Structure formats: structure tokens, C-alpha cells
Amino acid sequence: MSVLNTILRFFGLSSKTKLEEINSNDNQEMKKFLIVGLGNIGAEYVNTRHNIGFKVLDYFANQESISFQTQKLGEVAEFKIKGRTVLLLKPNTYMNLSGKAVKYWLEKENIEKDNMLVITDDLNLSFGSIRIKTKGSDGGHNGLKNIQLLLNSTEYPRFRFGISDAFKKGKQVDYVLGEWSLEEKESLKERLSVSSEIIISFALAGLNNTMNLFNGK
């Protein structure tokens, strides 16, 4: 079942036309979304655990046949679905300064924080686990820490992708900047597919419905 049909079923709708009718009642401000994937630029980081945000967006863009363009403070792609405009952002500021790109694009596109979803790795979740939240602390994550600092808020949606904490004491940096194991690589495609569904659901069904549909999936 496609994610769109899943959402229709969740709302008890029998056709796409009914979803279009719901969408037509939304105000214009609610129709633009920013999806931020956190990561570090550079070939040496492409397949590292810390770059799962970039990897999710790259997978999504490939599935939807859209491409990223280099713009101010990041790589940006645009996707339209059911009257929504979805901007995908991969900051090129390196992880520790992610907030600079996030703040710029929120303000440039006049997007509310509630319509932004930040995708990040999480050491506190088992590999591939999904946790979507309305708000929260930075959890020691430098990308989230900088976003919180520049937005002066912890209240923005985030999608945490579990990478587990299978590292020895003192090896955290090596672990998060290390590449996926062979076993993890085999499981990633299915997890990336689910992650793409989350992006579409966030734009079409909203945050709360997306949490109900995907948390723990």
C-alpha cells in the first residue's frame, strides 16, 4: 500500500479527491514545508552514520526524480505534492553550524517552525528505530544544539533515526563518523523507504498523524 493510500485510510477517506478537498481549505502558509537532513559535507562523510539526514534526503530525491541545487548555505531541492511545496535542505555549513542554514531558509521561505522536520541520527535508539517528536532537547547532538541556539527554541519537529550505541568507551566520535556495518547496509534500504514515507506523510497528514502512523514502525 502506498503512503498516500495509507494516509487516506487513516483519515477514513475513500478517494484522493476527498483529500484534495481537505487540502483546498488549508491556508497558503500551511502549504510550504522544510525538510532538513543533517550531515557533514565532503566525500569522506557520505556513508557515515552521522550523515543519515543527508542519506534520507538523497534517497527521497532519487525516488522522486528531483535534484539538489547548490544555493546559499546548502543544497536545496523542491518537491510538490497535492498542493504542497516541500523544500529539502542539506546544510553545507558542517554539522556544528546547521542552525545558520536552517534559520536562513525558514526566514527566506516564510516557513513556520511547525512546518519544519529535522532529520538526525540518534545514539540512544537502536539501529533503524524511528522516533518523531514535536520538540525536545538537543540530546548532545551538535547539529540540534546549533539549531536550538539560533532559533532560540527547542520546539520544532524532529525525526530521530536510531544508529545505536554499539561503541566502546571513548570511541563515540569514531563510531558516529564511521561507516555503516555490512549488516546495517543491508537493512538501510528498507529503513530509507520508510523514511521517505514519513516525509510525504508530514506534508500531507501533519505531524501528529505522522507520529501515530510511524513511531515504532
Active site residues: 50
Residue 134 CB neighbours (<10 A): 12
> Which residue is listed with cell 518523531?
132
Residue count of the chain, please give it: 217
94 belongs to an annotated ligand binding site? yes
Pull the grid cell for residue 123: 545514539
The verdict on whether residue 142 carries a ligand-binding annotation is yes
H helices of the chain, where?
3-11, 16-24, 52-63, 98-108, 142-151, 172-176, 182-205, 207-214
Query: 96 among the known binding-site residues?
Result: yes
Task: Judge whether 45 is annotated as a binding position.
Answer: yes
Q: How far apart are CA 166 and CA 181, in angstroms?
A: 11
Report phi then psi at 170, rounded to 5.
85, 0
SS3 74: strand
Q: Residues within the annotated binding site?
A: 45, 94, 96, 142
Q: Residues within the annotated binding site for tRNA?
A: 45, 94, 96, 142
